[in-house]
Structure 1
Amino acid sequence: MKDPVFVIHGVANRDRDEFATAVSALATAAGVDMVPVHWGDLGAQEQFIDAALPDYPAGPETLRDDEAPEHVMAEPLPTAVFAESIDEIQQLSQVDAALRAHLGEENDVEDNGLRDEGRHQLDPDQILEYVAELWAGTEWLSRTSDAQLLRETGRALARSLLDETDPASDDSYWGLRGEGADGDSRLRSLVRRRLNDLDRVAGAAVQALGARLNHAVRSRFGPGTTRFLGDVLVYQRHQEAVHARVRQVIDEVHPDIGRSPDRPVRIAAHSLGGVIAVDMATATVPLWTESLVTFGSQAAFFHVCDPRGGQLTPYGGNVPVHLPASLNRWTNLWEPLDVLAFAASKVFRLHDGTAPVDLPVGHQASTGMWTHSAYWNLPYVASVIGDVMRQDQTASAQ
């Protein structure tokens, strides 16, 4: 009978029973016997993490003249959101194209006799001249490279000016129909007012979005990332204690497992658990591992940043690091939105010269944006683990 697959969890797993339940569900889905290896009680103390997170006081939801909301930083935010600003000529060309297109549509309608003939004909060249004159004075629009925002600004400006010069409108700016300097002055004044309005709307939207995004990132992603860092720090300092816990659980099944190539262990590991598994399999006195499946893990990232030691040589940038025979096979799963998942195939080579197998896990909308913990419930992950481990059973039976 084949030995069970030992499952090592990653960061922020404090509840032993909850982890055991997750492993049981994974074992059922994968169709292989599994034993949970829980080491979370040795991890970072997280009950006081909130004390280290910054708080932004809730501020007013509306803007007053020349004032940014109190709950966001007035200066860094626009430069962060609009960091890719483009040349003013390129910005104005996009505004101009949209403005002309919208005015042209209205003129076509008018030519067909479907509009009131009293509409004042607006000169797009004159409008653009005023926009160009006023553009540098905008706080938000002049910083953006977003083509859609620039096009919508041109369309909104055209729509606003058309409405102001529509004789059928009760709010029509009749003074624009006059000729000469007086009419030009009023058109310029209207362009300035509408451009300022659009600039303020863009600014209010960006700042409101920035405040909500900041809150969402800190409240949704912040604790998970902080727990990740906390457990990483603890593991770096207390590897021996964590490795001893893994060895203890394996010994409880049978003390010979993983001690030699005659009876290697099979491991599935999530996140930092994958780092633990690779560290143990490549240690000077290794945990002999027949097959390793990691998901959402960082072993390659850690080794590139800080060589792990044991039997591993540092990564030099050109030649992959050769893994010892004590790590026979490695399949590494990563989800595209998981910022804590890294590839292994470019950094490492197995002892037979082949690369570890990196497999992408398709993103499911139901998992949301924080996908680092989603692997446990994804059918594809269970399927891969089952397939890999059953291959070992087949090979040993031959």
Structure 2
Amino acid sequence: MTVDAHARPPGHLKDPAFVIHGVAHRDRDDFAREVAALQDAAGVELVPVFWGDLGAQEEHIRATLPSTAALRRYPADEGLRDGTPVPQDPGAPPLARSALLDHGPTALEPAARLTAVEAAVREQYASPPADSGLRAGGPPSSAPAVEDVLELLREEWPRTEWLCHADDPALLAEVGHALANAVSDTADIAERAGEPLDDSYDGLRATAPEDGRLRALVRRRLRDLDRVAGAAIEAVAGRLNHLLRSRLGPATTRFLGDVLVYQRHQAKIHARVREAIDAVDPALGRGPDRPVRVVAHSLGGVIAVDMATASAPLWTSSLLTFGSQAAFFHVCDPRGGQLAPYAGGQGVTLPPSLSRWTNLWEPLDMLAFAASTVFRLHDGSTPVDVSLPHAASDGLWTHSAYWSLPSLAEAIATAMGHAHAEDGALG
């Protein structure tokens, strides 16, 4: 299926907007269908610019990826580790556990983690929730003193495998609440059953706490909570590992493959874009009197910016990019043409051949980058960065999810319509 650029419905803008795809597009007809759907939704005539046949050869990419079957050679309790010992500081958590539980510079210090649990125990002792089954106003009178519970907590805490490395305040608070509830519930049940709980009885107030039921209860509940936390983290880690290998890995590899091809065959791909524009009107984009409008995804945005800022530029009245990396590439390796290297501060001034730029990004798209912090338009304003809402149904690989988002069609209608109005005013 193709879109006939010359068969323009009545009422559509005089010149169409050209859509340049990004990485991993290999089917011309599928791309044309995506563009046709966007055209219907946006109400703007769109012409697909296909260059996927010039992209990376990906039929053998999977041969370069580690096999998931190899993971099954190692014991289940190794988690994400590959069976090879990893040098670590004494007492440091295993590498996978540290990666899963460490939240960076804002993480709680080890002492603060235990303090957070202790505070939650005290809080629960002071005001248990109404639906907890405990007596109103606090734990039962036979419950052990909170300081006794905290003393045993401090002794058992270093023996936990997962919790002592966790630094999420909500998780630590729930651990403290659950531990306090377990102690109070046990005391409440014993009291209601008429069990003696004086100091002569080896109960929750045992004279030898190292042998008593309180110590056993704290140890058992803390270890239960530790196992639950560990099982939950391992389950998430396993799914994440599978996702990284089965979806994110190949997708990222295709991205890198197309980037490498573009760096080597930039002229061929630019020529393909120029051919698509010339097929509509050879005068388009040749000067400021007939600029083009461009919509570009991913690496297509890099292509569009490179062409609009080249020494012999593609004059562009409005550019809309989504999930694109133009700013990232320019910061890492200056693109040349009419662009100066990025040196911080006010950003790089774009030439007048790129009049307007709207840049869309999705929060979980790891291949999407901001434009306004690196570039300035010729009139002193900045490109407009717009965050699109994340849909849970899109999962974690959202780089290709833009095409079906209603907000993309709305953004195209706004950006391209605004550019047309300005072109008409200039004319």
TM-score by length of 2: 0.81
- Detail structure 1 runs of 4+ shifted over 6 Å in the superposition: 106-115, 169-174
* Closer, same or farther: CA 33–126 of 1 in aligned 2, 3 Å: same
Residues 204 and 213, structure 2, Cα contact 8 Å, conserved in 1:
no
Match of 1:79 among 89, 94, 98: 98
Q: Which residue of 1 aligns with 2:302?
A: 275
Residues 164 and 171, structure 1, Cα contact 8 Å, conserved in 2:
no
Question: Does 1:125 find its partner at 2:147?
Answer: yes
* Closer, same or farther: CA 346–106 of 1 in aligned 2, 3 Å: closer
Q: CA RMSD in A?
A: 3.2
Question: Does 1:289 find its partner at 2:308?
Answer: no
Query: Whole-Å Cα distance in 2 between the matches of residues 386 and 256 of structure 1?
Result: 24
After TM superposition, the structure 1 stretch with the greater mean CA deviation from structure 2, 247-256 or 367-376, is: 367-376
Query: Whole-Å Cα distance in 2 between the matches of residues 281 and 106 of structure 1?
Result: 65
* Closer, same or farther: CA 121–344 of 1 in aligned 2, 3 Å: closer
Q: Secondary structure at the match of 1:277?
A: helix
Q: Which residue of 2 aligns with 1:34?
A: 46
Q: Which residue of 2 aligns with 1:64?
A: none
Residues 56 and 71, structure 1, Cα contact 8 Å, conserved in 2:
no
After TM superposition, the structure 1 stretch with the greater mean CA deviation from structure 2, 361-370 or 231-240, is: 361-370
Residues 204 and 212, structure 2, Cα contact 8 Å, conserved in 1:
no
Q: Which residue of 2 aligns with 1:159?
A: 181
Residues 172-221 of structure 1: per-residue CA shift (max 9 Å, x gap) = 99831575227864432332233223222222222222112221233232
Match of 1:51 among 39, 51, 63: 63
Q: Which residue of 2 aligns with 1:376?
A: 403
After TM superposition, the structure 1 stretch with the greater mean CA deviation from structure 2, 169-178 or 99-108, is: 169-178
Show structure 2 runs of 5+ residues with no match: 1-12, 84-93
* Closer, same or farther: CA 88–20 of 1 in aligned 2, 3 Å: closer
Residues 291-350 of structure 1: per-residue CA shift (max 9 Å, x gap) = 221122111111111100111110111132122222222222222332222222222222
TM-score by length of 1: 0.87
Q: CA deviation at 1:247?
A: 1.3
Query: Aligned letter for 1:229?
Result: L
Show structure 1 runs of 5+ residues with no match: 61-66
Question: Does 1:10 find its partner at 2:22?
Answer: yes
Q: CA deviation at 1:99?
A: 2.5
After TM superposition, the structure 1 stretch with the greater mean CA deviation from structure 2, 166-175 or 135-144, is: 166-175
Residues 345-368 of structure 1: per-residue CA shift (max 9 Å, x gap) = 222222222222223323344434
Query: Whole-Å Cα distance in 2 between the matches of residues 111 and 263 of structure 1?
Result: 79
Q: Secondary structure at the match of 1:327?
A: coil
Match of 2:369 among 334, 338, 342: 342
Query: Whole-Å Cα distance in 1 between the matches of residues 68 and 401 of structure 2?
Result: 29
Identity of aligned residues (%): 55
Q: Which residue of 2 aligns with 1:63?
A: none
Query: Whole-Å Cα distance in 1 between the matches of residues 145 and 173 of structure 2?
Result: 18
Q: CA deviation at 1:111?
A: 6.9
Residues 388 and 407, structure 2, Cα contact 8 Å, conserved in 1:
yes
Q: CA deviation at 1:269?
A: 0.9
Q: Which residue of 1 aligns with 2:87?
A: none
The number of residue pairs the alignment matches comes to 390
Question: Does 1:298 find its partner at 2:320?
Answer: no
Question: Does 1:234 find its partner at 2:242?
Answer: no
* Closer, same or farther: CA 326–181 of 1 in aligned 2, 3 Å: closer
Residues 120-151 of structure 1: per-residue CA shift (max 9 Å, x gap) = 43122112111112222222111111222222
Q: Secondary structure at the match of 2:293?
A: strand
* Closer, same or farther: CA 12–124 of 1 in aligned 2, 3 Å: same
Q: Which residue of 1 aligns with 2:5?
A: none
Query: Aligned letter for 1:72?
Result: L
Query: Whole-Å Cα distance in 2 between the matches of residues 296 and 287 of structure 1?
Result: 21
Question: Does 1:140 find its partner at 2:162?
Answer: yes
Q: Secondary structure at the match of 2:294?
A: strand
Residues 18 and 47, structure 2, Cα contact 8 Å, conserved in 1:
yes
Residues 134 and 184, structure 2, Cα contact 8 Å, conserved in 1:
no
Residues 285 and 292, structure 2, Cα contact 8 Å, conserved in 1:
yes
Query: Whole-Å Cα distance in 2 between the matches of residues 68 and 341 of structure 1?
Result: 36
Q: Secondary structure at the match of 2:203?
A: helix
After TM superposition, the structure 1 stretch with the greater mean CA deviation from structure 2, 98-107 or 72-81, is: 98-107
